[in-house]
Amino acid sequence: MDLISRRDRIADRGPELLDEYGSPLYVYYESDLRENYRTLRNALDDHYPDSHVHFAVKACFEPGVLSVLRDAGCGAEAYANCELTAALDVGFDPGEILLTGMNRQPEDLERALSAGVGRFLVDNATELAKVADAADATGTEASVLVRANPAMEVPTHPGVATATRESKFGLDVESGRAMAVAREAAATEGVSLDGVQLHIGSQIKGIEPYGVAARETMTFAAEIRDELGIEIDVLDLGGGFPVPYDEDVPNSTDIIAHMADAVKTAAEGHGLPEPTLYLEPGRRLVGNAATLLATVGVVKETPHAEFAVLDAGTNAVSSYWPYPIYALHGEGDPVTASDPTPEGFREYHVAGPLCYTGDVLREDAPLPPLDRGDVIAVDRIGAYSLGSASNTNAEPKPPVVLIRENDEATVIREGESCSDVFGRSTVPDDLA
């Protein structure tokens, strides 16, 4: 859905939602979540039917959102302990859960194995030993995928590039560390070496890295076959499918077509059977499914810029990405930061209310003239932002509503109050 249609959709409903639930407010759309899953699933059905989509729970661990994706047919990729709890609690089939993570606690691994979690990603040798111990403790067998890192060039923000030489993630293939862990996995009782994984990073702004990832991992799979005599069942190429924030990004269907082609060609070249393909998309499934509504409280000019100060800032909006920002009122279509400022628009530094200078969501955002009370949308904000929302300045986190497919709005997370912010704190008795 383009920005104009998105603005029309939220402009229709926004004021009524804010009246009812207050500002700021996160609004998720069930129809977007389902459509996002269908887009990926259809592309896989066309290009690589033997495949599974595991939603990267870290991208949005709200149970209401997870339930929609589970209902749509997704599996789950859980990185951390409470992500696993969320995935199990909302009823994902444990066999369709992939547990990742790079420093998990023994009790979490045991819980996952006892629950029947399908696959375990192994990021390092210690993690393999912990998985093996947990399998022993629970009398189960763990199906593991070795996380490879072939030191790639990754076109994205460096903070979210994972398959690079500098990254803490994965086992470097070139030095032989990845093979050493695969060898150990093959020799360890209670562990079954079933696959290879590579997650390039997030918001990948190119198609070719997926071809590189497919070729590198299939070469590693061939080395495993040659050295250990094991043909892997699963190739997991992670997530990273991008969302258009302020620029065009590759289309997920094209990425999947390219990736599928690279996997099949490499399998044929190495004389390997085509593996079952796993994907772990997060951002692409939820990123465009939410809009944050916030209200202008102050418009102030300084010698440097004109600031529009909202009731939500970097406490509610993670700062990595240039989310589209537009007003619900006024003539003129929303524009992205890379478009020229339309006639009749002004440029604002859109800031939050927090007590630090860096609390600015966007500099020079082209917007219609703003006044106190005007509503601003920070759009395509469904991935990662809510999870990284903070209580900076003791700000309560905003409520979250889900617009159901029948257009009904339902609260999936109550907004916090001051007592939620301080509810778990205590004061020493002698100071009370």
Ligand X SMILES: Cc1ncc(COP(=O)(O)O)c(C=O)c1O
Give the interface with ligand X as residue ranges (CB under 6 A): 56, 59, 77, 100, 160, 162, 199, 202-203, 238-241, 280-284, 383
- Residue appearing with tokens 């199990």: 88
Tokens 């629950």 identify what position? 115
- Measured from the CB atom, is 25 or 148 closer to ligand X? 148
- Identify which of residues 99 and 309 has a Cβ nearer to ligand X in the complex: 99
CB 376 to ligand X: min, Å = 25
DSSP letter for each residue of 48-79: --SEEEEEEGGG---HHHHHHHHHHT-EEEE-
- Collapsing DSSP to helix, strand or coil, 268 comes out as helix
Task: Select 185 or 293, whichever has its Cβ closest to ligand X.
Answer: 185
C-beta closer to ligand X: residue 199 or 397: 199
Give least dist CB 67 to ligand X, A. 19
Q: Which residue has the tokens 């202008």?
A: 296
Minimal distance in Å, beta carbon 432 to ligand X?
Answer: 43
Q: Can you say whether the dihedral through the CA atoms of 90, 255, 386, 21 is positive or negative?
A: negative
Report whether 87 contacts 51 (CB < 8 A). Answer: no
Dihedrals phi, psi of 289, to nearest 5 degrees: -95, 5
Q: Which residue is nearest to ligand X (CB)?
A: 239
Measure the CA–CA gap between 311 and 156, rounded to whole angstroms. Answer: 30
Rounded to whole angstroms, the Cα distance separating 67 from 83 reads: 13
Q: Which is nearer to ligand X, 282 or 352 (CB)?
A: 282
Which CB sits closer to ligand X, 282 or 334?
282
Please give the C-alpha separations between residue 314 and each of 35, 174, 258, 307, in angstroms, as whole numbers.
29, 40, 36, 15
Residue nearer to ligand X on the CB measure, 34 or 284: 284
Q: How far is the CB of 81 from ligand X (least distance, A)?
A: 15
DSSP structural state of residue 76:
E
Min dist. Cβ of residue 154 to ligand X (A): 11
What CA–CA distances, in Å, run from 222 to 124, 179, 200, 266?
20, 11, 20, 9
Q: How far apart are CA 144 and CA 266, in angstroms?
A: 22
| Number of Cβ atoms within 10 Å of the Cβ of 250 | 18
- CB of residue 261 vs ligand X: minimum separation in angstroms? 20
Contact criterion met (CB below 8 Å) for 227 and 186: no
Beta strands in 317-373 (DSSP E): 325-327, 346-351, 360-367
Nearer to ligand X, 17 or 160 (CB): 160
State the nearest-atom distance from the C-beta of 236 to ligand X, in Å. Answer: 9
Nearby residues of 343 by Cβ (< 8 Å), 6 or more positions away: none
CB of 204 to ligand X, least distance (A): 7
- Of 213, 212, 253, the closest CA to residue 236 belongs to 213
Which is nearer to ligand X, 330 or 387 (by Cβ)? Answer: 387
- Sign of the CA dihedral 267, 271, 141, 170? negative
Shortest Å distance, C-beta 61 to ligand X: 12
